[in-house]
């Protein structure tokens, strides 16, 4: 909920900066209680962290979707897959493209 409020304030301050030529970034950051550095980066078009994909992802989106669909099919047929089986499926997909296996947490 707090992130939603921060994002709403960010959108308000970006709109205020567009509409007012006299409003500085520092003043806007103080008025809307937002960090100046974050405001500058958002104004310059840098994406929000949660919009950026993780660097350490080993599976592609298609591979993840394939595993999820297979798990759902097994679950519908009352074959509940164990974590070991899901890990094995992911490692088989990674082995096909010579990527290192996933690690167990």
Structure tokens at 90: 């992911």
Half-sphere exposure of 92 (CA within 13 A, CB side): 8
Average pLDDT, the chain: 84
Q: Does 60 lie in the same domain as 23? A: no
pLDDT of res. 68 = 92
Structure tokens at 71: 């798990």
Q: Does 34 lie in the same domain as 60? A: no
pLDDT of res. 53 = 67
Tell me how far apart the alpha carbons of residues 86 and 56 are, in angstroms, rounded to a whole number. 19
Domain of 12, in residue numbers: 2-51
Q: List, for residues 46-67, the tens digit of each pLDDT value.
A: 877 766 666 667 888 898 899 9
Q: Does 37 lie in the same domain as 57? A: no
Percentage of the chain lying above the pLDDT 70 cut? 90
Percentage of the chain lying above the pLDDT 90 cut? 6
Q: Does 42 lie in the same domain as 24? A: yes
pLDDT of res. 69 = 93
Q: Does 59 lie in the same domain as 102? A: yes
pLDDT (average), residues 12-20: 89
Q: Does 81 lie in the same domain as 40? A: no
Q: Does residue 101 contact residue 91 with C-beta atoms inside 8 Å? A: yes
Question: What global pTM score does this model have?
Answer: 0.48
How many domains are there within the chain? 2
Q: Does 58 lie in the same domain as 29? A: no
Q: List, for residues 80-95, the tens digit of each pLDDT value.
A: 888 888 889 889 988 8
Q: Does residue 34 contact residue 9 with C-beta atoms inside 8 Å? A: yes
């Amino acid at each position: 909920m707090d992130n939603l409020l921060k994002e709403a304030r960010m959108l308000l301050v970006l709109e205020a900066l567009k509409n007012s030529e006299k409003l500085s970034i520092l003043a806007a950051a103080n008025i809307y209680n937002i960090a100046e550095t974050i405001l500058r980066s958002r104004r310059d078009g840098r994406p929000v962290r949660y919009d950026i994909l993780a660097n350490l992802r080993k599976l592609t989106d298609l591979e993840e979707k394939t595993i999820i669909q297979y798990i759902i099919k097994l679950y519908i047929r009352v074959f509940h897959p164990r974590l070991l089986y899901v890990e094995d499926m992911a490692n088989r997909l990674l082995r096909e493209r010579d990527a290192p296996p996933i690690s167990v947490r």
